[in-house]
């Protein structure tokens, strides 16, 4: 792949080249870059469209799914004519119509622990456009081992978040969600999602990618961006790395809270435990017990939730955690109906109740 710009490319990217922070040298850096987009769905489509339009020289797309009717409202790279085609094949065809100069490499399968190193090692930056926790842990581990920048994004309903991991010894995905276990996947199938949400987050990922390529992000990242579409609120959430994280449950500067946290930590560590936090998703993101997983009340009745808890019941104490007494009681009743052994912990942290 040649890194020099042709006269046609200079004309095509004239508006970008005119920007002081890009120029000819910046456009050459964009063309030289090799980007891997993992997932060609709601997040991946806007990422791919804008990166190809920006002049990226080589883009890899990895996805094992086919285009379905329900994809079309938010996966804007596809049309009705693409139904039943593999997403990577349809994406390549449609992206070539936007920019024939971009080399597009398709990987028509899922990323897993067996192929992660081979696939990711070829690219400079990895963009996570997936919808499940397991794949994100695979991406995180591979990027850590290969020293690759990891551009993260996630969306649900009218909310989303994005971040940059493994940048100049910055935070990792596992610093955001540390507990490794199989979570319920593809939440948009059950919760619903708006196309504008995935579009917004996908564009933010494309912006972060170009900033890294152009050297406009020069500081180590220790936060993720949280987006709320209805009120158009954007805020940064600081993420502490494991080496700097205080070993209590919720960050609190008062001595009283520290003592309670130590009592709580001692109590739960007496046996191997799986803590289930009943908060809504955004509340959980804002503040949660370090070891907890998030299963909102609305998801507790789902068959996949029951299956998950029964699996971990065999090796763990299932602990229900929530500030609301009512929610704790309702959750306990639901689990008793499913004959799932569990304990309840109150918000004051002192006692475990059978």
Sign of the dihedral through C-alpha 57, 58, 63, 65: positive
Model confidence pTM above 0.85: no
Specify the pLDDT at position 252. Answer: 47
| 164, containing H or E segment | strand 159-165
Hey, do 33-238 and 255-353 end up sharing a CATH topology, with the first three levels equal?
no
The arrangement of secondary structure in 33-238, i.e. its CATH architecture, is 3-Layer(aba) Sandwich (3.40)
Give the whole-angstrom CA distance, residue 103 versus residue 19: 25
Nearest in space to 65 (alpha carbons), one of 130, 128, 20: 130
Give the whole-angstrom CA distance, residue 243 versus residue 225: 22
Give the whole-angstrom CA distance, residue 31 versus residue 3: 6
Number of CB atoms found within 10 A of residue 265's CB: 16
Nearest in space to 211 (alpha carbons), one of 54, 7, 10, 43: 54
Q: pLDDT tens for the chain, 354 residues: list them.
A: 467 899 999 999 999 999 999 999 999 999 999 999 999 999 999 999 999 999 999 999 999 999 999 999 999 999 999 999 999 999 999 999 999 999 999 999 999 999 999 999 999 999 999 988 889 999 999 999 999 999 999 998 888 999 999 887 788 888 887 544 444 444 555 567 888 999 999 999 999 999 999 999 877 778 889 999 888 888 888 887 654 444 344 444 445 555 555 545 554 454 578 888 888 877 777 777 777 888 888 888 788 888 888 888 888 888 888 887 878 888 888 888 888 888 887 655 433 333
State the alpha helices, DSSP H only, in 102-162.
Answer: 116-120, 133-146
The torsion angles phi and psi of 214, rounded to 5 degrees, stand at: -85, -5
Specify the pLDDT at position 354. Answer: 33
The CA distances from residue 201 to 173, 206, 261, in Å, are: 17, 9, 35
Residue 177 CB contacts under 8 Å (≥ 6 apart), including other chains:
133, 136
Domain layout of the chain by residue ranges? 33-238, 255-353
Name the fold adopted by 255-353.
Oxidized Rhodanese; domain 1 (3.40.250)
Specify the pLDDT at position 138. Answer: 94
């Amino acid at each position: 792949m040649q890194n020099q710009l042709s006269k046609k490319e200079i004309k095509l990217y004239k508006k970008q080249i005119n920007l002081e922070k890009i120029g000819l040298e910046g456009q050459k850096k964009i063309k030289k870059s090799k980007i891997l987009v993992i997932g060609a769905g709601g997040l991946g489509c806007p990422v791919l469209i804008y990166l190809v339009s920006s002049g990226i020289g080589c883009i890899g797309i990895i996805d094992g799914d086919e285009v379905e009717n329900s994809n079309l409202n938010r996966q804007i790279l596809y049309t009705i004519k693409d139904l039943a085609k593999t997403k990577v094949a349809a994406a390549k065809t449609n992206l070539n119509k936007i920019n024939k100069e971009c080399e597009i490499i398709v990987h028509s399968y899922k990323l897993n622990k067996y192929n992660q190193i081979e696939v990711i090692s070829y690219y400079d930056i990895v963009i996570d456009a997936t919808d499940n926790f397991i794949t994100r842990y695979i991406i995180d581990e591979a990027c850590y081992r290969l020293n690759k920048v990891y551009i993260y994004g996630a969306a649900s309903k009218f909310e989303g978040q994005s971040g940059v991991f493994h940048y100049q010894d910055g935070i990792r995905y596992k610093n955001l969600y540390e507990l490794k276990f199989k979570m319920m996947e593809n939440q948009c199938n059950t919760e619903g999602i708006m196309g504008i949400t995935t579009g917004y987050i996908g564009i933010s990922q494309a912006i972060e990618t170009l900033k890294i390529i152009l050297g406009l992000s020069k500081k180590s990242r220790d936060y993720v961006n949280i987006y709320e579409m209805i009120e158009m609120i954007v805020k940064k959430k600081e993420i502490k790395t494991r080496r700097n994280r205080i070993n209590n449950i919720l960050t609190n500067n008062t001595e009283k809270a520290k003592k309670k946290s130590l009592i709580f930590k001692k109590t739960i560590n007496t046996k191997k435990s799986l803590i289930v936090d009943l908060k809504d998703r955004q509340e959980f993101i804002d503040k949660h017990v370090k070891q907890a997983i998030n299963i909102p009340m609305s998801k507790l009745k789902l068959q996949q939730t029951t299956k998950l808890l029964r699996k971990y019941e065999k090796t763990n104490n299932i602990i229900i955690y929530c500030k609301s007494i009512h929610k704790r009681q309702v959750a306990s009743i639901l689990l008793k109906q499913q004959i799932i052994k569990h304990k309840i912990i109150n918000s004051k942290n002192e006692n475990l109740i059978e």
